[in-house]
Amino acid sequence: MNRALGSKISKALRCVLSGTAAAAVTLTMVASTADAQGRLFGGGKKQINEKYTPTIWIDPDGCEHWVMDDGVEGYMSPHTNRQGIPVCRRGNVCGVMNSDQFFSTNSSKIHAQGRARLSSFFEQADATSYIITGHTDARASDEYNLKLSYNRASSVARIAQASGASIADVRGYGERLPAASNKTAHGMAKNRRVEIICIR
């Protein structure tokens, strides 16, 4: 395990386990591995000799999590409410990009002017980290839309990282979370978007 990461996790655990926060620690055995977009899903059956990569990540609610190389997982935040539930950072949609203004049809390459606008946004947004989600209208197949939306979100994430921003997650939802009806041209245009979630 990386020494710096191990030290960070060890320090976080001491903080979490101290005082009254000990009751709020949630330890679960997880048996899954990170999927293509870097998220970790629990609930699977633990396999013998299964390997885990020690890591720290932030979920959509802004909660910091850790996982050790033996599969033990828990919250990093020592702050809890009166019910003992971890209190995490707040995430909210702080930017919505209309895809038609940043991408050509069927493309995930951002125009030069769009790159400049995004760089300026991330330099001024002042968030701890960001979750980038891509969305499409209902045209084309579900598989194609999932791939296109993820690729577009990834393009935005690369610009964010180049601007010094920390990216917690990148997701592509395709047509599955429409913002408007896909029965009209106006509605489809609203659905073709990339949302930026700020975690503060």
27-77 pLDDT per residue, tens: 222 223 333 333 333 334 444 556 667 766 666 555 666 677 666 766 555
Flag the least confident range among 56-60, 113-117, 157-161.
56-60
φ and ψ at residue 40, rounded to 5 degrees:
-115, 130
Region 143-166: mean pLDDT is 96
Domains recognised in the chain with CATH numbers: 3-75 (no CATH), 91-199 (3.30.1330.60)
pLDDT at residue 194 is higher than 50: yes
Strands 64-67 and 72-75: antiparallel
pLDDT score recorded for residue 199: 83
More confident residue, 7 or 94: 94
